[in-house]
Amino acid sequence: MNVTEPIRRMAVLSPDTPAIIRADGGAISYAALDAGIDRMAGRAAALGLRPGDIAALSITGSHQALRLTLGLALARIGVASADVSLPPALTRVRLRPGPVEAPGVVGFDPSWIARPGPAVEVHRDASAILRVFASSGTTGVPKFVAISHELMARRLLTQVISLGAGPAVRMIGVSLGIIYGFTAVLRTFWFGGTLVLTDTPGASAAITRHEVTSIATSPAGLRALLDAMPLGTSPLPSLRQIEVGGSRVPPALRDAATARLCGNLVSFLGATECGGIAAAPLAALAGRTDAVGYLMPGVEAQAVDADDAPLPAGQQGVLRVRSANLAAGYFGQALSDSFRDGWFYPGDVGTVWPDGMLSLAGRSGDLLNVGGAKLSPQVIEDALLSLPQVTDAAAFSVPDASGLEQVWAAIVTTEPIAPAALNDFCRKALPGKAPRFIIHVKELPRNAMGKVQRDALVALAREQGPAG
């Protein structure tokens, strides 16, 4: 199948239902969305784009509804879109909004969607590449994963079983160009929901005005949404679920979101390379340290030792995952140590419990060396986030002049904290584990999924030096 077919079906069955509400409040019905996809597909075909070609296209930024429609238009005719960070040599053309005059680059504008045109024949080769996504890139060097229409459909249906479908009025607090955001868009359209486009400052008003029922976001996006909400906000009547993906939700953030936004928070863990891994309502994870959810249907996960031998359930080790939703490997890369013997190794350390619960201790490369013992940075971060003045925190390590690892932390605060008081708190809350140095930053460096880029913090620490 082609992932745009359910949109065409909705255009027939419920043509006047809003598919998209733009940031300016204007609505695009399913009939208008489907027609717009056809018109833009016709323009793309007129450029000479054919099934199997790859066009670099960012789905975020200005004119977001137009960008998204163009991405769906390419998919309809069997042309793959790709993250703009994909090397130009791997793409046929690069599409950018506005007038563009550059070799290999074509500009698009609202005229592409305004001119009437005939319906376009849907390319139904399910093995065709839908989009080439950049991986999370926590190391600062993203890799690329090609997702076919068939693989996207399987992943989407697995998420529906674990997270629910709709119809819903949905807001997405992550980039639509990454796989988590794009899949959330398709889940909305496939089940006749409405996608509300807005920015973070306008989110509170948009939720109320359009009676948003569900939000898909990351922990960083959830924190930004809370910061943008008026003080004293109580749970919003229309919101029935907030789905938080990408990483574990810190307890302080969970409690604040439950009290001020919605009582039903759902944890979702997935990866570009393998799709959804685990999910559960946060209420079901109460008391389970570092738990991120139960393994999703069809997903197998193991913790293994240094020799790749599976460990008994309940023991911590390096995680590996396999399922029918696993990608074949990295696009444009012949071999990768992350894909071995039918398994994907995401680089996480964690535990698979006998009941199928999955817990994460952190990234294998992020574990801190505290006096010779390995410590998850989450332990330090959770302690710092328990301070009312701290809105964001990250722990990391930096080698000193002798090459020994020293534990550092970076914090974002609403008001200054006296260094002596901060150090005293850390000594009491984190006996034997307190960070040696703490720096204050305006915001933590994060990737598109909101994951902390610790290598950037190491560079900043070396440049700035400790503040306390």
Indicate if the pLDDT at residue 57 is higher than 90. yes
| pTM confidence score | 0.86
Binned at pLDDT 50, 70 and 90, residue 447 comes out as confident
Confidence at 467, pLDDT banded by 50, 70, 90:
low
CA 459 → CA 85, 138, 365, 376, 445, distances in Å? 23, 15, 16, 20, 11
Instruction: Please give the average per-residue pLDDT across 148-155, as a whole number.
Output: 98
Mean pLDDT over 368-379 rounds to 77
CA dist., res. 302 & res. 3, Å (int)? 32
Reported as a single tens digit per residue, the pLDDT across 310-358 is: 999 999 999 999 999 999 999 988 778 899 999 999 999 999 999 999 9
- Ranges 211-220, 221-230, 458-467, most confident: 211-220
Q: Which of 220-234, 265-279, 388-402 tops mean pLDDT? A: 265-279
How many contiguous H segments (helices) and E segments (strands) does the chain have? 12, 26
Query: Residue 424 gets which letter from DSSP?
Result: H
Given this model, what pLDDT does residue 393 score?
Answer: 93
Q: Is the pLDDT of residue 137 over 70?
A: no
* Assigned token pair, 182: 């794009």
Tell me how far CA of residue 468 lies from CA of 86, 119, 407, in angstroms: 41, 64, 13
Distance CA 69, CA 37 (A): 6
- Kindly report the backbone phi and psi dihedral angles of residue 322, in degrees, each rounded to the nearest multiple of 5, phi listed first: -150, 150
**pLDDT of 243 above 80:** yes
The whole-number pLDDT of residue 372 equals: 66
Protein fold of 368-464? GMP Synthetase; Chain A, domain 3 (3.30.300)
Contact 2, 75 (CB under 8 A): yes
Q: Under CATH, which number does the domain 5-359 receive?
A: 3.40.50.12780
Instruction: Please list, in sequence order, all residues whose beta carbon lies within 8 angstroms of the beta carbon of residue 195, skipping any fewer than 6 positions away.
Output: 19, 20, 21, 170, 171, 172, 185, 188, 189
Mean predicted lDDT score pLDDT of the chain: 91
Q: Across residues 201-220, what is the average pLDDT?
A: 93
Question: For residue 27, how many other CB atoms are within 10 A of its CB?
Answer: 15
Exposure string (b/e) for 32-43, b if CB count within 10 Å is 16 or more?
Answer: bbbbbbbbbbbb
Give the strand pairing for 80-82 and 105-108. unpaired
- Per-residue pLDDT, 250: 85
pLDDT category at 468 given cuts 50, 70, 90 is very low
Left if phi > 0, otherwise alpha if psi is -120 to 50, otherwise beta: which for 37? alpha
Over residues 91-105, the mean pLDDT reads: 90
Specify the pLDDT at position 165: 73
Whether pLDDT at 307 is above 90: yes
As a whole number, mean pLDDT of residues 185-204 equals 93
Report the pLDDT averaged over residues 391-403.
86
Q: Which amino acid, 394?
A: A
Q: What does the pLDDT read at residue 141?
A: 67
Burial status of residue 45 (CB atoms within 10 A of its CB: 0-12, 13-18, 19 or more): middle
**132: pLDDT confidence band, cut at 50, 70 and 90?**
very high
Q: Cα-atom radius of gyration of the chain, to the nearest Å?
A: 23
Question: Is the pLDDT confidence value at 455 over 90?
Answer: no
CA 456/CA 327 separation, integer angstroms:
29
Nearest to 184 by CA among 203, 197, 171: 171
Using CA atoms, how far residue 34 sits from 9, 28, 188, 237, 255, in Å, is 9, 10, 14, 31, 41
Place 367 in a pLDDT band, splitting at 50, 70 and 90. confident
Q: What stretch(es) of the chain map to CATH 3.40.50.12780? A: 5-359
Query: Is it the case that residue 138 has pLDDT exceeding 70?
Result: no
Q: Where in the chain is the domain with CATH 3.30.300.30?
A: 368-464
Residues 6+ apart with CB under 8 A from 72: 3, 4, 7, 37
Is the per-residue pLDDT at 116 higher than 70?
Answer: yes
Least confident of 47-61, 112-126, 220-234, 381-395: 220-234
Confidence of residue 140 (pLDDT cuts 50, 70, 90): low
